Amino acid sequence: IDKMISASDNKIGTSIGYVGNIVDLWERIVEREVFVHLGSDQTSLHNPFQGGYFPAGLSFDESQSLMHENPEDFKEQVQNTLRRHVQAINHLTSQGMFFWDYGNAFLLESGRAGADIFNENGGYRYPSYVEDIMGPLCFDRGFGPFRWVCSSGLDSDLLETDKIAEHVLSEMLEEEKDVNVRQQIQDNLKWIREADAHSLVVGSKARILYADEQGRSRIAAEMNRAIADGRITAPVILGRDHHDVSGTDSPYRETANIRDGSKWTADMSVQNFVGDAIRGATWVSLHNGGGVGWGEVSNGGFGLLIDGTNDSERRLKSMLHWDVTNGVARRAWARNDGAIASIKRAMDINSQLTVTVPELVDDAILDDLIGDE
Ligand SMILES: NC(=O)c1ccc[n+]([C@@H]2O[C@H](COP(=O)([O-])OP(=O)(O)OC[C@H]3O[C@@H](n4cnc5c(N)ncnc54)[C@H](O)[C@@H]3O)[C@@H](O)[C@H]2O)c1
C-alpha cells in the first residue's frame, strides 16, 4: 500500500502484485482510508465453491482441505468472505471509487451470498464491464474478436494474413467518417501491426483481431483470394470467440447491456447456430457455459474453412454477414444508440438487408400519459 501511494503521489505508472487474500487487502485499504480511483475483481467466481474463490482467514492448503472434507462449511466461508468483500467495495465507492464487474460473476455470486450489492430498483449497484465498456464501444457497433488459423502451420502464411488484415483495415480507415468507428479501426490496426513482434502465437498459427462485419468479410475475402493465387499456401479456418457481438446469451456478461428485458432469453445463440449452419459454416456448435459457467449462458459458434474457391467466397460473405448482423439487430431492438446507427449502416451497404428499427418514444410523453406506474 505504501508503494502504491508513493507511486500515485509521484505519478509513476507501475504494477504491483499482492500475494494473499484480496479481501484482506481491500479491508486494509479501507482502514487506511486510501483513495482508489478504479476497482474490479478477477477471482474465478464463475466457479465459486470448487476453487474459484478462496475464503479469507484460511491458507491455500487449508482451503483445499476444507473444500473436499466439508464443502458446506467451505461454501459458508466463501459467502461470508464475499459479504465482507462487498462491504469494503461499497465503502470505497462511497468515497468515489468506480467499481465494475469484470465478467467473472462477482455481482451474481455476491447477490446469492446475500451481500449488500443491490440498488433500490433491485438491480446491481455496479455495472458489468459489458454494460459500460465493451457493449457501447465494441459490440453495439459490430466489433468483436474475429479469428483465423492457417492450416499450413507456416509462419509465412500467418504473416501474409497479418499483411492482408492490415491492408484492409488501412483502406477502411481511409473510407471511414464516423469518429467512433475510426477509433476502433485505429486500435485494431495498431494491434495487427504489432501482433507478430509480440510473439502472440501459442501453438497453432492463429490470430485474433477485433473487427466489425465489414472488416471480417473484407479480410476473409482477401485471404480467400490469396489462397487462390498461392500467396497463402493452404486453407484458412475462420472463427470467433464466444465473447462477441452475437452468438452468446449471457445476462451477466455478453448481453448485459441489452436492457430491453430480452437479456434473459437464450435465442440469439440458437439463431447464430442455425443461421450460420444454413449460410455455409463448415461446422457449428450450440453449447453452454462459455466463460461464466454451466447454466449461466448459451453459446452458438462456428468454424468456416476457406480454400480459395468461389464457393468459399459465397459462404464467407453470407455467413459472416449473418453471424455479426444478427447480434447488432438485437442490440438495436434494445434501443442501444451505437447499434441503431450500425444497423442503419448495414442496410445502406447491403440493399437486401431489411431490419426493423425501433421508433424511440420520448419518455416525457409516456410519463405524462401513464405516470410513473
Ligand atoms: N472480462 C473478460 O474478458 C474475461 C476474460 C477471461 C476471463 N474472465 C473471467 O475472469 C475470471 C478470472 O479468469 P482467470 O482466467 O484469470 O482465472 P484463474 O482461475 O486463472 O485466476 C483467478 C485467480 O484468482 C485467485 N483467487 C481466488 N480467490 C481469491 C481471493 N479471495 N483472493 C485473492 N485471489 C483469489 C485464484 O487463486 C486464481 O489465481 C473468471 O471468472 C473468468 O471467467 C473474464
Q: What atom of ligand 1 comes closest to residue 52's alpha carbon?
A: 27
Q: Does some domain include residue 35?
A: yes
* Pocket test residue of 42, 62, 82, 133 for ligand 1, highest count of atoms within 8 A of CB: 42
Does residue 360 lie within any of the structural domains?
A: no
Domain coverage including residue 230: 139-349
- Do 88 and 218 belong to one domain? no
Q: How far is the CA of 104 from the centre of ligand 1 (A)?
A: 7
Buried b (16+ CB within 10 A) or exposed e, 62-96: ebeebbeeeeeebbebbbbbbebbbebbbebeeee
Task: Answer yes or no: do 87 and 148 share one domain.
Answer: no
**DSSP readout, 187-238?**
HHHHHHHHHTTTT---SSSEEEEEE-HHHHHHHHHHHHHHHHTTSS-S-EEE
Phi (first) and psi of residue 48, to 5 degrees = -70, -30
Cβ–ligand 1 distance for 46 under 6 Å, the answer yes
- Domain CATH number, residue 62: 3.40.50.10730
Which residue, by CA, sits nearest to atom 39 of ligand 1?
43
Whether 325 and 187 map to the same domain: the answer is: yes
CATH number for the domain harbouring residue 161? 3.40.1770.10
DSSP 124: B
Same domain, 234 and 345: yes
Cell 448495414 found at: 346
Per the domain annotation, does 91 fall within a domain?
Answer: yes
- Residue 51 CA to ligand 1 center (angstroms) comes to 10
Residues 57 and 13 in one domain: yes
Query: Ligand 1 centre and the CA of 102: distance in Å?
Result: 9
User: Could you tell me if the CB of 53 is within 6 A of ligand 1?
Assistant: yes
Same domain for 151 and 285?
yes
Given 105, 126, 147, the domain boundary residue is: 126
* Pocket lining: 103 vs ligand 1, CB cutoff 6 Å: yes
**Domain for residue 133, yes or no?**
no
Integer distance in angstroms from the first to the last C-alpha of the chain?
Answer: 48
Q: Are residues 57 and 184 located together in one domain of the fold?
A: no
CB neighbours of residue 199 within 10 Å: 7
Residues 72 and 7 in one domain: yes
User: Do 333 and 254 share a structural domain?
Assistant: yes
One domain for residues 228 and 339 = yes
Structural domains of the chain, count: 2
- The pLDDT profile of the chain, 373 residues, written as one tens digit per residue, is 999 999 999 999 999 999 999 999 999 999 999 999 999 999 999 899 999 999 999 999 999 999 999 999 999 999 999 999 999 999 999 999 999 999 888 999 999 999 999 999 888 999 988 888 899 999 999 999 999 999 999 999 999 999 999 999 999 999 999 998 999 999 999 999 999 999 876 778 999 999 999 999 999 999 999 999 999 999 999 999 999 999 999 988 899 889 888 888 999 999 999 999 999 999 999 999 887 778 889 999 999 999 999 999 999 999 999 999 999 999 999 999 999 999 999 999 999 999 999 988 888 898 888 876 6
- Residue 149 in any domain: the answer is yes
Task: List the alpha helices (DSSP H) in 117-178.
Answer: 129, 135-137, 155-175
Q: Is the residue at 354 inside a domain?
A: no
Atom 4 of ligand 1, nearest CA residue: 103
C-alpha cell at 7: 507511486
If asked whether residues 89 and 222 sit together in one domain, one would say no
- DSSP code, position 13: -
